[in-house]
Each structure stands twice: as C-alpha cells, then as structure tokens.
Structure 1
Amino acid sequence: MRATPPVEDLGEGLWSVPVPIPGNPLGYTLVYVVEDPRGPVLVDAGWPHEDAWRALTEGLAAIGTGVAEVRGVVLTHFHPDHSGLAGRVREASGAWVALHEADAALVRRLRAHTPEEHRDLQADRLAEAGASPEEVARLRADPPRMAAPEPPDRELADGDLLDLARRKLRAVWTPGHSPGHICLHLEDADVLFTGDHVLPRITPHLGLYTLDTDEDPLTTYLGSLTGLAAVPATRALPAHEHRFSGPAARAGEIAAHHEDKLERLAALLNARPATLWDLSARLPWARPWADMGATARRMAAAETAAHLRTLERRGRARRTPAPGGAAGWTAPAPAPGPAPAP
C-alpha cells in the first residue's frame, strides 16, 4: 500500500489534497484544488468512505478553506475513486458537479440496475469468456460493487471552459479509460490535470466488458494518447502516484506498452486457438494469475478482450461464436498465395 503524501501547495493558486482509497493498492486519489474568488473548484473528489471524507475536509481546512466554500467539482471521469465524494460535497456546499456527457450517459444507464444485477451480469460474461463454473460461482459470491454515482449538474463536451472567474480551465476529451474521460488544461498555468489517462509509472485499466458491442476502447485510447501532443502543457498533475513533466512523451511510452501487449497476444493466438479466459491467464500481469481474486481476474479478462477487439479490427484475430458455450479466438488463416505457374 502506498503511503499517503501530505497536502501540498503547488503554487499559482493550486493545491494537492491526497484522499485515501482504503484497501486499494492505488493508495490514494490526488484531489486538486483550484483557487477562485467565488470559491474553490475541485478536480475530482475521492473515494466514498469516511476516511476519505475526513482527509478531504481536513485537507481543505489545512489550506485555509472548507468544504462548505467549495463552488464546483469537475470530475475527470465517473469511477468511484474520482466521483465517490462529489455528491457529499454538493450536499455540504451546494456546489455544482460537472462530468463529460459520455460518462453522464453511462451513469444514467448504470443507475437503471442494482449493483447485484451488475455483478450477476458480469458473472454471466465470465462464463461466456470460458471461466470455469467454480470461477463464475466465486464472482457471484463476491459482495456487489457500490452503486453508480449520482448524475452531474453539468455535462461537458470537448473544449468546454469551466466556470471560473479568473482562470481558463478547458476540458480535453480523452476517451478510453472511460467513454467520457477528460483531462483538464489550465491554460494560464501550463498545467494538464491528466486524471487516469496518463500516469507516471502505471497504465490505466482499459476494459471491454461485453463482446456484443462495436466498442474498441483500446483503439480509442491510443487515439486519445496521440491527441495529447496538441495540448501545449508541460506539467502533468495526475490523479494517482506523483506529478511529472512531459505528458505527451509519457503518452508515447504508454502507447508503446500497449503495442507490445498486442504483439504478445497475437503470438499466443498464432500458437493455438484459445478462449478469452485462457488467453488472459497466459498473459503477464502485475500479479500472478494464481494470486488474483475474482474481481481482479474479471478486470484482467476485460482488458484482454479490449486488446483482442483491437487485433480483430486490425485483421489479426478472429472470434468464433459458440452459442451456449465459450467463444474461441484464433489467428486468421493466411491469405492464399499466388497460383503456381502452369
């Protein structure tokens, strides 16, 4: 577990308030405070937990303000370690909460189902991926995930400016990690809040949770990484780990990592056909497959599915539907060579 760093004055009217994520190896979310004459605006809000709430409120007090003074919360994306406390901040202060329109639409869809329904749907998808009955039962026995966040007050589109009095904070749509993930360019301070899109050491989760869709989150993400080259910011303030310089250069490193993973996966397919679950178990991960819990394996399989979808779009993987059973994946047959000369 990472040690939680202290509250920091970053200069130019910016502060970093680390908010813990209890029981999660990420350790904490870095909530950023942007000073504004009408009240501070938060970039992300943190995990929904009493320890996180205490850290957020004490951190705001340490910089000379309070949760009741918060004027707005802009979320880089809807995941609970970013959005979880936004509703509570809104209740305490009357602050607006802003989220990209694509994630806002996803939140509305998620709220139409209970956490138990979502868990059971994911278990059904594990069976379709080729997981054993024991593995599927293990996921069904897990406690359901927390409910989806409340809908935002304001929906953002690419290029929108946030409502700040003396600053220019612009939304940069960077889909991939979530459909509506945004970075935020503070144009008057050469700063890019990168959320989870670009992190200094690790890479964000990219998951395809159902194959019954045309979505291709990895290709979308790679395009978003390329787009960062057009953002004139050299200082990156990510939501996890630590600050760094050169977000566009780091984006190139992350893209190369995923291209390497695509090659590894293609090599497995060239060796023999396999199910999604089998391929996931044979890929390298931060933790050995045998040590992963049910939820971690589900996320690994979703990430493998995202890479398979990209290989499929590139003509390097083919899915064989199997009604009533697990679908198989194989490398496409080589194109026939020229006919021999008579």
Structure 2
Amino acid sequence: MECFRIDESGYTGFDLMNSDQPFQGAAAIAISNEHAEYLIKKHFPTLQADELKYRSLARRPKNHPRLLGLLGDILANYKSVTYVCDKRFLLLLMFLDYAVEPFYYERGLNFYEYGQNYSLASLLYFVGPTVLGKDAFYELEAAFQVAMKEKTPKALNELVRSAQKTKWHELPEALGPLAGYRAPECLSAIATPGVSTDAAFIVLQALISRMEVMTEGPYRVEHDQSKNLRTYHTLLERYINHDDEIEFRQSEIASIRFPLKLVSVSQVDSKTSPAVQLADVMIGAAVEMARSLSGRRTGPLDPEAVLALYADNQLIHMLPSLDFEEQRRFRQGTQAAEVIDYFSQFHD
C-alpha cells in the first residue's frame, strides 16, 4: 500500500500572530524508506548525523547545492505536495469567517462568492494597520484569537470593544458587523464549541486534497512523534473515520471527497525513517523560501531556485494577494461556506 510521509513546520497552536514563526506548513511525500535512504546517501554521502534535518544542513553553505539537488530529485521523481500559509493572513480569513460572514448570511448574501473573502482579507492584511490604526488593528487581531479560544462573555465583549477602537468606519464591510451592530450571529459563531484559530485543520485539508488525487487506491500516512504532530494525528484519524459520502470544491485545483482513500495513520521515530526525514527537508526549505520571498528574512537557499523546482500542482500556498481578478477566477464556485458549516457539526 502506498505511504505518504508527513512533516510540519511553524505550528504554534491557536496563536497565529507569533512573530518568530510567521509561516506554517506541512509536506507529504510518497517514498519508501529504501528509496529515501538512497537519495540521502546520494546527495550527502559523508553525513555523520543520526538523521537528516533541514535546519542543521542549511547552516553550512557547502550543503546548499546538495540540498537543492536533493529537493530537485524528490520533486522530479516522487509524488509530493507542500503547503505553506502566512499565519496572519489565515487569521484574517478566520476573522471574516466567524466575525463577519454570519452577518451577511443572515441577510441572504453569499460572502464567499467568487472568493471575495480572500480579497477582503488581503486588503486588511496590506492596508488594515494604516487605514484602521496600527495599534488598534493588531489589538483587534489579538482579541479575536483570545475570543475564539476562551469563548467567554468577557472575551467576546473585549473583542467588540477592540473593533470599536479601530477606525472601523473606514472599512465598514469588514468591521461593521462587530463594531457597528455587535452582531449576535457573529458572536454566536465565535462562541461555537470546538472551533478555534488552530490552523492544523486547514493545513491537513490542503494536503489531503492533493494526496487523494495522487493515489488511485487506498493509502496510509506516517509522521514523526513530535508533540506538534499529535494534533495532526488526531485530525487525520477523524478524517479516516468520517464515512459519509460528500464532496466539496475548495478552489480551481482543490476539492475533497469523503469517505477518503486514506485508511490509516501512524507515528514513527524520525531517526528510523529516512522518508520522514525527507519530509522535514521539504517543509523546512519551503518555509524558509516563503520567509525570503516575503522579505522577512533572507534564507540560506536562493528562494527563486527553490521555487523553480516545483510543478504548479506540487505547491499550495495561502498568501495574501491584491490581484483581485485572479482571486475571483481561482475561487469561483468555491464551497467554503458549506465546508465550515459541515465540519462544525463534528467538534469534540
């Protein structure tokens, strides 16, 4: 049975404003441990470490050509998918999902039509601090995270007050429901048990949408035993156990149909799994590439050289964009609202 090995990077739970780790992602690769070991020996024949780790290897400039060679081998010859998202952009998308969309839904408007939620989140990302007030806007983002986590009347009231402290009249389409109307439908959505700003669900949904396409029959997943991946493990088990027949379109290139072809998930010690080590290299390089291309920090590898290795269907990214026409085309026909409504039924 085909097996995808998975690793993640940048997971900070519900906190999507962590300045040290602004990007989150995961990579999946369908490769046997025997083939993975061959690739490691091919590109790093003198490696003395117990296991291959992107961060350790990238520190030495002499390893950079070897890392690019390894990534090129993987991407050219094995099934894989890598997902990277800007966590603050994702936080703003969630803000629109819970603190804005219910207001429009109650009035018969499809807030997700043509991906306008992505366009509005991008606008907030780039101009929100300037137009709405920098300190007040960041305070609003923080208050939303807390309200989604704690769900107490105090946290919800603080969220409304934070919205009212901004210059919300400058962008009432986004902040009016909370600041102007204190919309009960939005507060109720935020207080829904089981929903939070934890992005693991979104990351896994993206990976699964591609793994399902890349496999013809049943497949399984293995991942490391790290603490961060425990959340991913639980979610994967939940996906596997979901046997209702249903399909959702998420974008021009992504859809997900249940029941899945994924049949099992297991944890392994990465030191004994060369294949999991390759997943670590893949996601490590991708997150560093995103950092470099966003201008936050220059990574050890040339980001353009890394990006050039990917085929279009091997890299999924959730990044803000002011190309609104492209967003409209790419997201046309999305069932984002249906996905949120459907899975909110299955919270713990």
What band does the TM-score fall into relative to the shorter chain? under 0.3
Higher helix share: 2
Asked which structure has the greater RCO (Cα within 8 Å, sep 6+), the reply is: 2
Using structure 1 for the length normalisation, give the TM-score: 0.25
